Amino acid sequence: MTSSISSPEPKLNGQQVRALALEAGFSEAGVVALPYAEEARDGARFEEWVSAGRAGTMHYLKRAVEGGELVRARAAVPFPWARSAIVCFANYHSAQPLSNEPAAVDAGWIARYAWSSLIDRGVRRPSDYHRVLLKRLKALDARLREKCGSFESRAYVDTGPVVERSLATAAGLGWTGKNTCLIHPRLGSYGFLAVLLTSLEVEADPARFAVPDRCGSCRRCLDACPTGALFAPYQMDATRCISYLTIEHRGAISEELMDGMGRQVFGCDICQDVCPWNLKAPIGTDPDLEPRPELVNPALEWLAGMDEAEFERQFNGSPVRRAGSLGLRRNVAIAMGNSGLGRFASKLEEWTGSADEGLLKAARRALEKLRDATVKGQISPSPDGDHGTGAVVHWKGSNRTPQ
């Protein structure tokens, strides 16, 4: 009679996982065993944030299981089999201007992450980072199966019930900054996070250590936020965040917040653009995430002139599509009012006939601001008496002149 000794279950090796992630096209990667040491703390903070109403209308963040625990509080809630999380970082930093650098007064701002594009059969077209990075996660998953055999896994890029930033911090990719973004000590915060959950255990790594918080006494992000979304260090109210307002929020935006939105028409980079850690971050060289030149400081008139068909043509496959055609027009109307340019009045007048409440209220408020600026003499008339060529050089809340 012979006895067989079963071989031990394979475990994830941190260095090997990182090498395979880089091979798959990511800039950096880390792995953490689940549950991790700070999981209960992070889950409690997330639940407190949601309970305080900071998530606004992002109802997917509020999903709970029977008993009331939020689905995103711990990875084990939706995935009880998960024993590890591999978190990958993809650098999207580029050499193009920052949002707080000088720009034409008639230009809007689209968040840096949404510029992504790639060359397909000789033609540049929008690239959706979700699809690009999910493909890489699946390639990483396949390589791990070659080495470890069969295991349970789930791959997510901004679409799954996990708090990517908390997992990334636990995996040693950086620290959570005062602007609530993950900051990598070398790559900064201009990065996408992608998560691969697995049922594999993680090898102990005595050399691994958590990256310490290096924000120090700096508070540039808090001071630069024009809507007060960063109301305290490490605390962000999404309902006041320009990224939330211009992308996730549907309908009308509070006039109080419109004034602080400056020229942002999709997302916002202000709290990252002022961060010292991003000033030294390397420029990304990812061929699937190259910037589309026309989206860098785009002309408000160009954006305003798009009908539904043109919007689809320009943004199908782009993150900008999430705002929707009407949402983008609403955001453009706000930026037009904040620009102080009288020549935008005719387009805004046209939009006051819109059946969409968000666009209607934004257009009315923008016209109000332009008229107030004219009365106060802040718009310089052109020689023929038309106020269309003048411009307010600075206004409170503009990201060109941080308050």
Q: Are strands 109-110 and 264-266 parallel, antiparallel or unpaired?
A: parallel
Q: What is the DSSP string of 336-375?
A: HHHHT-GGGHHHHHHHTT-S-HHHHHHHHHHHHHHHHHHH
Please tell me the distance from the alpha carbon of residue 390 to that of residue 379, in angstroms, as a whole number. Answer: 5
Whether residue 78 is preceded by a cis peptide bond, meaning omega within 30 degrees of 0, is no
Buried b (16+ CB within 10 A) or exposed e, 239-278: bbbbbbbbbbbeebbeeebbbbbbbbbbbbbbbbbbbebb
158 is catalytic: yes
* φ and ψ of 14, to 5 deg: -55, -45
From 120, 158, 286, 372, active-site residue: 158
3-state SS, residue 329: helix
Q: Is 44 exposed, middle or buried (0-12, 13-18, 19+ CB in 10 A)?
A: exposed
Q: Any idea which residues carry the catalytic annotation?
A: 158
